[in-house]
Amino acid sequence: MFDYTPLYRSSIGFDRLFRLLDEAASVETNSYPPYNIERVGEDEYRITMAIAGFGPNDVNIEAKGNTLTVTGKKADKQVNTTEVLHQGIAARGFERRFQMADHVEVKGADMDNGLLHIALKREVPEALKPRQIPIGNGATKLKAIETTKAA
């Protein structure tokens, strides 16, 4: 565990980041279901999860705040007349949480050949994007001030 106290003294507004780091350090590593996180463009990402045996009705995807939660729960088992000698395909329920950065939104999800693909995109609002500030010459500013005083 890392002590963030010195960083708290010289930084403002990073509380959420320190909390995320603490949570990441304390989370037990659960490897089910396996997944990939891919960068597919400048501001586009894709999470791919291997969820063989689950159908679209068995999986729930919820984006709440900056947390993306994917849960899977199999419907009640149907009566099976065969005897399973070895079950290597897991059919247990799961819950996987992902922390998303600010302005990352879920754009959609698809299921194909036992893989769940979740598309994400970072969309920074125009007001937060960097912009160039034009520099005027002094004469323009002076004319505007003189017009205001004359009125």
For the record, the structure tokens of 52 come out as 């063989």
In this structure, whether the domain defined by 31-77+86-130 belongs to CATH 2.60.40.790 is answered with yes
- Is the pTM higher than 0.75? no
Provide the residue ranges of all domains of the chain, joining segments of one domain with +.
1-29, 31-77+86-130
Integer Cα distance of 17 and 32 in angstroms: 26
Pairing state between β 94-99 and 59-64: unpaired
Q: What is the pLDDT of residues 19-54, one digit of tens each?
A: 777 776 666 567 789 999 999 998 999 999 999 889
Tally of CB atoms within 10 A around 127: 6
Instruction: Give which of 14, 42, 43 is closest to 103, Cα–Cα.
Output: 43
- Is it the case that residue 65 has pLDDT exceeding 90? no
Q: Which residue has better confidence, 5 or 115? A: 115
Confidence band for 86, pLDDT divided at 50, 70 and 90: confident
The amino acid at 115:
L
| pLDDT computed for residue 81 by the predictor | 77
Of 103, 23, 37, 28, give the one whose Cα is nearest residue 70. 37
- Residue 41 DSSP label: S
User: Measured between alpha carbons, how far is 25 from 15 in angstroms, rounded to an integer?
Assistant: 16
Residue 149 to residue 151: CA distance in whole angstroms: 6
Residue-level pLDDT at 19? 76
- Kindly state the tokens that stand for 95: 């819950």
